[in-house]
């Protein structure tokens, strides 16, 4: 099979061999139900609790019991927001941003249609928030503030420590953070923040698809989303998916011990600098402050060229990237994130997200950099406005 160069790690990641090895016995001889009182059940329960400790360590949670397993990042986000609203029916206001992932954005839009009031915080051209806007948005009836830590399309990081301090000082709102894109890419230490709820998803950091978690700060009241048996201490019903939970724990441990972040940053920076030096129509989408961006992500627009055409040509060369968010790949409207950043249409349509991961090599980046300028030139010549 042809070598594939995978530069779409924000969409999903490859299951790490260590993670696969850890979960495999649970698809074979280790099949008990963790709620069973017998030997098999007890062994499953121990495995789940070990995974909970591994995830708690990765997030810097104060207590292991603050971690609740779910099926994905979207479930965690939905549960966090709805779980708060259900217990405070008199509070009808939420605050979020215009650049959230659909898991939060579409939920908030649906709540708006159902009578809630949502304040949508704007971002500037670099994708950054004005924290004065946040302070001004907080009200006595604000139930939830929901903000992402890392943007899936641009990698821009929001200062959640500072945001948490503002939320705590100026309101009684619960503070939810969508941490799905950040986990495994930057250090997280929730214990030292005012974050109340924090969503993560296993497939973004080398666990399989189908498992996630929600951090629920000790003592925070949150209504369950799935109602049924008493699993997860009554917080999330349904027999626990032991193989996937074990996998999530192992992936968390791998992420905690990973020391290659600087290497990934170096590859990403070289990719970015070389593209800007060799392709004059290339523009960065996201902040120029590199410390305010994930170390693995570059979102770059190529003016007057269609992103989908670039993606197809790279795909033919064995290089896999994304145009904005993977969830948007089927639709032709430009990304809501780039629109919120006021990126002009001619640039937004030509945006490509390169997202690197632990398995990428210098040689792969060289291969991309050798081919990309030719592809962009060729497409620009075909474009009615590109060859002026």
Q: Which helix (H) or strand (E) holds 82?
A: helix 73-87
Footprint of ligand PLP on 344-363 (CB under 6 A): none
- In which region does residue 102 sit, left (phi positive, over 0), alpha (psi from -120 to 50) or beta (all else)? alpha
Cβ closest to ligand PLP, residue 150 vs residue 246: 150
Which residues, in sequence order, are bridge partners of residue 117?
93
Q: Judged by CB under 6 A, which of 34, 73, 184, 208 binds ligand PLP?
A: 73
Binding-site member from 44, 48, 72, 222 for ligand PLP (CB under 6 A): 72
Q: Assess contact for 32 and 44: CB atoms under 8 A.
A: yes
Both tokens assigned to 184: 């495994």
Chain position carrying tokens 């590109």:
386
Cα torsion 209, 160, 132, 335 to 10°: value is -20
Which of residues 32 and 249 has its CB atom nearest to ligand PLP in the complex? 249
Q: Judged by CB under 6 A, which of 52, 91, 93, 101 binds ligand PLP?
A: 101
Site string for ligand PLP, 288-317 (x = CB under 6 A): ------------------------------
3-state secondary structure of 140: coil
Q: Please choose, from the candidates 356, 337, 239, 351, the residue with its C-alpha nearest in 3D space to the C-alpha of residue 294.
A: 356
Q: Give dist(CA 65, CA 218) in Å, integer.
A: 8
Active site members: 327
If phi > 0 it is left, if psi is from -120 to 50 it is alpha, else beta; for residue 352 that is: beta
Residue closer to ligand PLP (CB basis): 32 or 212: 212
Report the residue number, 216 or 372, with the smaller CB distance to ligand PLP: 216
Q: How far is the CB of 99 from ligand PLP (least distance, A)?
A: 10
Looking up tokens 């490509």, which residue turns up? 352
What distance in Å separates the CA atoms of residue 20 and residue 12, rounded to the nearest whole number? Answer: 16
Q: Tell me which of 152, 285, 322, 355 binds ligand PLP, using CB under 6 A.
A: 152
Residue of the chain from 19, 103, 216, 282 that contacts ligand PLP (CB under 6 A):
103
In terms of CB distance, is 73 or 386 closer to ligand PLP? 73
CB 174 within 8 A of CB 144: yes
Q: How far is the CB of 327 from ligand PLP (least distance, A)?
A: 7
Residue 8 in contact with ligand PLP, rule: CB under 6 A: no
Distance CA 386, CA 377 (A): 9
| Part in contact with ligand PLP (CB under 6 A); list of ranges 73-81, 110-118, 221-229, 285-293 | 73-81
Evaluate whether 203 touches 209 at the Cβ level (below 8 Å): yes
| Stretch of 36-44, 70-78, 83-91, 167-175 lying at the interface with ligand PLP (CB under 6 A) | 70-78
Site string for ligand PLP, 107-146 (x = CB under 6 A): ----------------------------------------
In the range 201-260, which residues lie near ligand PLP by CB under 6 A?
Answer: 201, 212
Distances (CA, A) of 349 to 36, 37, 69: 54, 57, 37
- Helices vs strands, H then E, count in the chain: 12, 12
Give residue 53's Cα distance to chain centre.
Answer: 21
Stretch of 16-24, 69-77, 246-254, 334-342 lying at the interface with ligand PLP (CB under 6 A): 69-77
Q: What is the closest distance, in whole angstroms, from the C-beta atom of residue 71 to ligand PLP in the complex?
A: 8
Nearest approach in angstroms of CB 198 to ligand PLP is 11
What is the smallest separation between the CB atom of 36 and ligand PLP, expressed in angstroms? Answer: 29
Binding residue for ligand PLP, selected from 157, 180, 183, 368, defined by CB under 6 A = 180
User: Between residues 151 and 171, which has the closer beta carbon with respect to ligand PLP?
Assistant: 151
* Residue for token pair 């009200």: 139
Q: Which residues contact 210 (CB under 8 A, 6 or more apart)?
A: 71, 72, 202, 203, 241, 244
Q: How near is the Cβ of 264 to ligand PLP at its closest, in Å?
A: 18
| Footprint on this chain of ligand PLP (rule: CB under 6 A) | 72-74, 77, 101, 103, 148, 152, 178, 180-181, 201, 212
């Amino acid at each position: 099979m042809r070598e594939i160069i995978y530069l779409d790690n924000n969409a999903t990641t490859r299951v790490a061999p260590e993670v696969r090895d850890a979960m495999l016995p649970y698809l074979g001889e280790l099949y008990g139900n963790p709620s069973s009182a017998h030997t098999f059940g007890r062994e499953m329960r121990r495995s789940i609790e070990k995974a909970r400790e591994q995830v708690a360590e990765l997030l810097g949670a104060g207590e292991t019991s603050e971690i609740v397993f779910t099926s994905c990042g979207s479930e965690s986000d939905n549960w966090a927001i709805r779980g708060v609203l259900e217990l405070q029916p008199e509070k009808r206001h939420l605050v979020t941003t215009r650049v959230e992932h659909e898991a939060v954005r579409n939920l908030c839009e649906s709540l708006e249609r159902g009578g809630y009031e949502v304040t949508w915080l704007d971002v500037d051209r670099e994708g950054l928030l004005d924290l004065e806007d946040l302070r001004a948005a907080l009200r006595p009836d604000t139930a939830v503030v929901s903000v992402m830590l890392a943007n899936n399309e641009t990698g821009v990081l929001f200062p959640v420590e500072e945001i948490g301090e503002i939320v705590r000082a100026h309101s009684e709102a619960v503070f939810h953070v969508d941490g799905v894109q950040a986990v495994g890419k930057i250090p997280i230490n929730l214990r030292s923040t005012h974050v109340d709820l924090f969503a993560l998803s296993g497939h973004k950091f080398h666990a399989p698809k189908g498992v996630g978690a929600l951090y629920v700060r000790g003592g925070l009241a949150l209504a369950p989303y799935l109602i049924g048996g008493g699993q997860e201490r009554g917080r999330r019903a349904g027999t626990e998916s032991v193989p996937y939970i074990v996998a999530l724990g192992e992936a968390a441990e791998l992420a905690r011990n990973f020391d290659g972040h600087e290497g990934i940053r170096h590859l990403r920076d070289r990719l970015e600098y070389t593209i800007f030096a060799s392709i004059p129509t290339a523009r960065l989408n996201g902040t120029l402050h590199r410390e305010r961006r994930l170390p693995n992500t570059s979102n770059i627009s190529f003016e007057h060229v269609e992103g989908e055409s670039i993606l197809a040509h790279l795909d033919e060369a064995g290089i896999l990237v994304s145009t904005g968010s993977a969830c948007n790949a089927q639709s032709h409207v430009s990304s809501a994130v780039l629109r919120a950043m006021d990126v002009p249409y001619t640039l937004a349509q030509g945006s490509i997200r390169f997202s690197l991961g632990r398995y990428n090599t210098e040689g792969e980046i060289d291969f991309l950099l050798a081919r990309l300028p030719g592809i962009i030139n060729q497409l620009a010549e075909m474009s009615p406005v590109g060859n002026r």
